[in-house]
Structure formats: structure tokens, C-alpha cells
Structure 1
Amino acid sequence: MVWRMFRLVAEVDPARRAQLGAGLRAANTAASPALRALRATGRDREAPLQVWALDDTGALAGGLAGHTWAGWLHVSTLWVDERVRGAGLGGALLAEAERIARAERGCRAVRLETWDFQAPEFYRKRGYEVVCVIPDYPAGVTEYTLTKRL
């Protein structure tokens, strides 16, 4: 085996990041029959999904951002302005994203992460199940990963 010296560089580089992602996708697709099948259908691309709640002045009252990929919706951000919290807006945003993911994009499931001081009970009440718990991430906080079948 031939070993070479490599130079390690710690810097933000969008072009290298894109190359890194492409290399990982290619390796994963080669190793996974499910990912090969997705690629064959053309449904292996990430697609952003965003739902916004605007008040009567057009100001942002809340929103949900995530993406769909491989039959899943991944919710990365769900936020509701504190002046309208408790009025059902968060549930409406989540339900609309789930509807779009299922009906328009063929998703079968959803995943998301939340911290213990945020909204784990909010998601449980809407049919989500905790599948991972990471204590002390960050220090003194517990992170939950939750999923739901659509």
C-alpha cells in the first residue's frame, strides 16, 4: 500500500463542500439498493419545502423550513412568533408541510430534531415518536430526534 503525505486544510470552501457531498452521494448510492432505486426514478434529489404564515400586514408570524428527500420530509426549523403562540399556528404549519410532503412529493415519513425546552410534547401530541435522545447537547440540554409515518 502506498501512503502519501496529505495537507489538512480547515477552511470554508463551497466548491469543496459540493464535491464532498457529491462523492458521499455516489458512494452511498453504490452501496444501497434503495438509493439506487431512487436514483433510477429521479427522486433522489433534495427539494426545499417551506411554509410561511403571514399576518394581515404581510409580516412573518411563523414558518417551517425543511426539505424532502428519499421519501422523507426533514423539518429543520419551525417557529411561531410569541405574540401568536398558542393559537394553533404551529400545528397548522406542520400539518400543511406534512400534506405537501405526502400528497405532492410522495413522502412516507417525517423527521425532525427539537430540544427539551422547545417542543417535544408539541410533536408527540401530533403523532411523532422519539427515536433518539442526546443528553447534554448542548451542555445542560437534551436533544430529541422524532419521526412520524405519514
Structure 2
Amino acid sequence: MKTSLLITEAPTQADLDVLGQGLTGFNERATGLPGWELRPFAALLRDEGRNTIGGAIGSSYYGWLAIDLLWLPESLRGTGLGRQIMELTEKEARARGCTGIRLDTFSFQARGFYEKCGFSVFGTLPDHPPGHTRYWLAKRFD
């Protein structure tokens, strides 16, 4: 079979499907667990006009809830809303039967906040971005 490699900033849905289905099939065979069973998640903070102004988004799969993004406007930080979002997220993760929650943050973001919420660092990547560190944190429900 003749092959070729290319770089693109615009993979098609078919491209994404081939890789996703291939990896999912491999993972199923390796773990004995069914597919990703990916379930989206959002804990949204809305204003009186029902406009989303902050919150957390992510998904659960393989028994963990992953927070991909968490954001609050600066004017609402320190008001307890961040902790409420994290508590709601944990409640949902437990309701889904998750083992825990994982997320990542940068050294100039909210590592201390997550640690106050019971998360522990399990990985670091220095100089990502240059001059800063990226941290991976998890909170396991035991």
C-alpha cells in the first residue's frame, strides 16, 4: 500500500471519524470497556437575561469527568461562585458514577483555587507556554 503524509488545519469530519473510531476500537479491545460513552457536561452561570456569563464545560468518559474549560468574569471571582460551580460539577460527576474529576491549568491561572477544592497535581509541563508551567490535577472520590 502506498501512503503519504500531510499537515492540515482543516481535517474533515470523515478524517476525525476514522481516527476516533480507530482509537475507540483499540481502546475497547485493550480495556474490555465499551467505547468512549462520552457524555458532554456543562455547569453554566447565567445572568438575569439568561445569557451565559461563566461556568465549566467538559465531558465524562471511562469513569472520570474531565473539565475542559472553567471561566468566571473577573468581577465575579472571589464571590464563592467558582466554588459553587465546582461543587455542582462534583455532584454531577458522582451522579454519573465517576471515580473523580480531572482538569488542567497554567501557572498564571487557578492552580491554588483547584487545590483548595481538593485537587492534587499529578503532572507538570514546564515552559508551556514559555516561562510558565502547565499543571494536570485530579480529585479522586474515595
Aligned partner of 2:93 in structure 1 is: 101
* One of 9, 18, 38 as aligned partner of 2:6: 9
Task: Determine helix, strand or coil for the equivalent of 1:124.
Answer: helix
Aligned partner of 1:132 in structure 2 is: 123
Query: Could you tell me how far apart the structure 2 residues matched to 1:7 and 1:44 are?
Result: 29
1:71-126 CA-to-partner distances (Å, cap 9, x unmatched) read 100000000011211101111111101101112x1111110000011000001011
Aligned partner of 1:113 in structure 2 is: 104
Aligned partner of 2:27 in structure 1 is: 28
Query: Could you tell me how far apart the structure 2 residues matched to 1:138 and 1:106 are?
Result: 34
TM-score, structure 1 normalization: 0.87
TM-score, structure 2 normalization: 0.91
* Gap regions ≥5 residues in structure 2: none
Query: Could you tell me how far apart the structure 2 residues matched to 1:19 and 1:145 are?
Result: 28
Identity of aligned residues (%): 37
Provide the alpha-carbon RMSD of the alignment: 1.4
Aligned partner of 2:136 in structure 1 is: 145
Query: Could you tell me how far apart the structure 2 residues matched to 1:44 and 1:58 are?
Result: 32
4+ residue segments displaced more than 6 Å? none
